[in-house]
C-alpha cells in the first residue's frame, strides 16, 4: 500500500493554496466544504476562488509565493501550471514536515486527494495513488449510483443514538450486532424512505426493549419497460434487499437478475385469458408474506400506477396495516416512445398526450372513442395488439383521418425492439404480415412522422 488512507479534520484549520486559477478552484471547493480556512497566494485570483476565501473566513495574497506563506498552515496545496514553482512549494513543505499536495504530480506529494463520495457524515474515498485518477473518478461514479444520499441520514441517525447504545452495550461485539440489526432491518428502511421520525421512534423503542413484533414490508417497484439501465436507484436498492420477489410477465429477465440472489422468486404474471395467479390471491399473498416478517418486492413492468394494478394492491395492504413503499418506474409509453424516436408531444404536432388501455377489465375494447380523435393529441394504447384492427377502425369511424400516422412498438427499449410504422388504415395489415408478440405499445398521431429523423436506438432491432 503506497498511501495510507486517512481522514483529516480541517475545520477551523488554515490551509495554504498556491495558485488562483481553475486548478486552485477545484481544490479550494473541497477545502472550503470541509471547513478549512483558506490562505490563497497568487498574482491573480479568480472571482470564484475569492468567493470561497470570503466564505471560509480566509485571506487572499496578491503576489508571488514566498516560503513564509507556509507559516501557521497545516496543509499545503500547490495548484499552478508552473512546474518549478510547484516543486519549490513541495520542497519547502517537506522541509517543515507539513503535508503537501501538488496537483497532477504524485511524485511531489506527501498526501493525495482521493475521489470522494460525500454522504456526510458518511464519506467514501477512492484512490489510485495518483496513477489513474480518471479510473478512481469512474469508480466513484459507480458508487454514487449504488449509495443514495439518504445513507448520510442513516449515519446521522446512528450518531444521535450512539451514546445511548454504548451505555446499553458496554461490549463492542454486542454493539456491533445491535447496529448490524438496525442497519439491515425496518429501522433503516424507514430512514432510507425519508420517514426519519418513524425511524427514530422505532430505534428508541428497540433501545428501550419495547420494539414491536417484527412486521415485514412490501415494496411496489416499477421495473420500467425492459432496459435494466432505466431502473431507479431506489428500485435497485430495494430489489437487492428483498426476501421475496413477486414478479410479472413483463419484467425482463435481465432486471430480475438484479434482485438479491437468495431471494425467493414467485411468478404471478398475467396475459390475456391466462392468469398465473388471480389478482385477489396476489393481494392476499403480499399481506401474508409481510405478516411473516418478510421484505417483499412486488416487481411490475413499467410503472405500478399506470395500468399496473398497483392501486388495488396497496389498498389491500393499507387495509391490513402493512407498511409499503411505492417506487415509480418509467412507464412503457415514455420509455418505448423515446427508444423508438417518437416524441409524445411536439409544438408542431401534438399539444397533449393520452394513455389508454386497449384491453378493458370486461375483455372488450369499448373505449370513449369521441374523446380520442383530436388531431392535436397523441394517443398511446397499452395492450392493444389483439384489438388493433378494432381500435384503428373505431378511431377512423369516429373522425380520425385514415391517413393518421401510427406505430406499433414490440418489446421496446430491449435488444429485441421492433417498430412498425404506417397509418390507421394500414397498420393492422402491416402487423398481421409479421409475427408480432406482446408486449407491444401503439402510438397514434402526427408525432410518429418524426421517427424517420429521430430514431436512434436501432441496433439489431427491425423497423418496418
- Residue 253 marked ligand-binding: no
Q: Is residue 342 within 8 Å of residue 460, measured between CB atoms? A: no
Q: Is residue 425 within 8 Å of residue 411, measured between CB atoms? A: no
- Residue 44 marked ligand-binding: yes
C-alpha span between 38 and 49 (Å, rounded): 10
Q: Is residue 399 within 8 Å of residue 376, measured between CB atoms? A: no
- Nine cell digits for residue 45: 485570483
- Residue 225 marked ligand-binding: yes
- Residue 301 marked ligand-binding: yes
300 is catalytic: no
CA-wise closest residue to 222 among 356, 336, 331, 357: 331
C-alpha span between 116 and 133 (Å, rounded): 12
248 is catalytic: yes
- Nine cell digits for residue 213: 413484533
**Could you say which of 248, 366, 397, 453 is catalytic?**
248
- Residue 302 marked ligand-binding: yes
Q: Is residue 191 within 8 Å of residue 154, measured between CB atoms? A: yes
Q: Is residue 307 within 8 Å of residue 332, measured between CB atoms? A: no
CA-wise closest residue to 414 among 359, 334, 342, 336: 336
Local structure of residue 364 (DSSP, 8 states): -
Alpha helices, DSSP H, located in 64-171: 83-96, 133-146, 150-168
C-alpha span between 388 and 377 (Å, rounded): 19
- Residue 331 marked ligand-binding: yes
C-alpha span between 383 and 359 (Å, rounded): 6
- Residue 1 marked ligand-binding: no
| 146: three-class secondary structure by DSSP | helix
Q: Is residue 150 within 8 Å of residue 191, measured between CB atoms? A: yes
Q: Is residue 230 within 8 Å of residue 335, measured between CB atoms? A: yes
Other beta carbons within 10 Å of 57: 12
Pairing mode, if any, of strands 122-126 and 295-300?
unpaired
**Could you say which of 82, 118, 243, 270 is catalytic?**
270
- Residue 412 marked ligand-binding: yes
Other beta carbons within 10 Å of 251: 22
- Give the contacts of 259 (CB within 8 A, at least 6 positions apart): 239, 240, 242, 245, 265, 297, 299
ω before 121 within 30° of 0 (cis)? yes
Helix or strand (DSSP H, E) at 192: helix 186-192
Helix or strand (DSSP H, E) at 102: strand 100-102
- Residue 112 marked ligand-binding: no
- Residue 313 marked ligand-binding: no
Annotated binding site: 22-23, 43-44, 225, 301-303, 306, 331-332, 383, 412
Annotated binding site for S-adenosyl-L-methionine: 225, 301-303, 306, 331-332, 383, 412
Residues acting as catalytic residues: 248, 270
Annotated binding site for NAD(+): 22-23, 43-44
Amino acid at each position: 500500500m503506497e498511501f495510507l488512507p486517512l481522514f483529516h479534520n480541517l475545520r477551523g484549520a488554515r490551509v495554504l493554496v498556491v495558485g488562483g486559477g481553475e486548478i486552485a478552484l477545484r481544490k479550494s471547493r473541497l477545502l472550503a466544504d470541509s471547513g478549512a480556512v483558506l490562505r490563497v497566494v497568487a498574482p491573480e485570483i479568480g472571482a470564484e476562488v475569492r468567493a470561497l476565501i470570503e466564505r471560509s473566513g480566509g485571506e487572499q495574497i496578491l503576489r508571488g509565493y514566498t516560503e513564509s506563506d507556509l507559516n501557521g498552515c497545516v496543509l499545503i496545496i500547490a495548484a499552478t501550471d508552473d512546474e518549478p514553482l510547484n516543486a519549490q512549494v513541495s520542497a519547502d513543505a517537506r522541509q517543515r514536515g507539513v503535508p503537501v499536495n501538488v496537483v497532477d504530480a504524485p511524485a511531489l506529494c506527501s498526501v493525495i486527494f482521493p475521489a470522494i463520495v460525500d454522504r456526510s457524515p458518511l464519506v467514501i474515498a477512492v484512490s489510485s495513488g495518483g496513477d489513474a485518477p480518471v479510473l478512481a473518478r469512474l469508480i466513484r461514479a459507480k458508487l454514487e449510483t449504488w449509495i443514495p444520499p439518504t445513507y448520510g441520514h442513516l449515519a446521522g441517525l446512528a450518531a444521535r443514538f450512539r451514546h445511548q447504545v454504548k451505555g446499553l452495550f458496554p461490549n463492542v461485539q454486542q454493539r456491533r450486532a445491535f447496529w448490524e440489526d438496525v442497519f439491515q432491518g425496518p429501522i433503516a428502511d424507514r430512514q432510507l424512505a425519508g420517514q426519519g421520525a418513524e425511524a427514530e421512534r422505532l430505534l428508541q423503542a428497540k433501545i428501550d426493549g419495547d420494539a414491536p413484533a417484527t412486521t415485514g414490508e412490501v415494496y411496489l417497484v416499477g421495473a420500467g419497460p425492459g432496459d435494466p439501465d432505466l431502473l431507479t436507484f431506489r428500485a435497485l436498492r430495494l430489489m437487492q434487499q428483498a426476501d421475496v420477489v413477486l414478479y410479472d410477465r413483463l419484467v425482463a429477465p435481465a432486471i430480475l437478475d438484479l434482485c438479491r440472489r437468495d431471494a425467493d422468486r414467485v411468478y404471478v404474471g398475467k396475459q390475456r385469458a391466462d392468469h398465473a395467479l388471480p389478482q385477489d390471491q396476489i393481494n392476499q399473498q403480499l399481506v401474508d408474506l409481510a405478516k411473516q416478517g418478510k421484505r417483499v418486492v412486488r416487481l411490475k413492468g413499467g410503472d405500478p400506477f399506470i395500468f399496473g394494478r398497483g392501486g388495488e394492491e396497496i389498498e389491500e395492504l393499507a387495509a391490513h396495516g402493512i407498511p409499503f413503499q411505492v417506487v415509480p418506474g418509467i412507464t412503457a409509453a415514455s420509455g418505448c416512445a423515446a427508444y423508438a424516436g417518437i416524441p409524445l408531444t411536439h409544438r408542431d404536432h401534438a399539444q397533449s398526450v393520452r394513455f389508454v388501455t386497449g384491453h378493458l377489465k370486461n375483455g372488450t375494447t369499448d373505449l370513449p372513442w369521441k374523446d380520442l380523435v383530436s388531431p392535436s393529441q397523441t394517443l398511446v394504447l397499452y395492450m392493444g395488439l389483439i384489438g388493433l384492427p378494432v381500435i384503428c377502425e373505431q378511431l377512423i369511424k369516429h373522425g380520425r383521418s385514415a391517413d393518421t400516422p401510427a406505430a406499433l412498438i414490440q418489446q421496446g427499449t430491449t435488444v429485441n425492439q421492433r417498430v412498425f410504422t404506417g397509418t390507421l388504415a394500414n397498420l393492422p395489415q402491416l402487423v398481421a404480415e409479421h409475427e408480432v408478440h406482446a408486449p407491444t405499445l401503439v402510438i397514434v398521431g402526427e408525432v410518429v412522422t418524426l421517427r424517420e429523423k429521430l430514431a436512434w436506438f436501432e441496433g439489431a432491432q427491425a423497423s418496418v
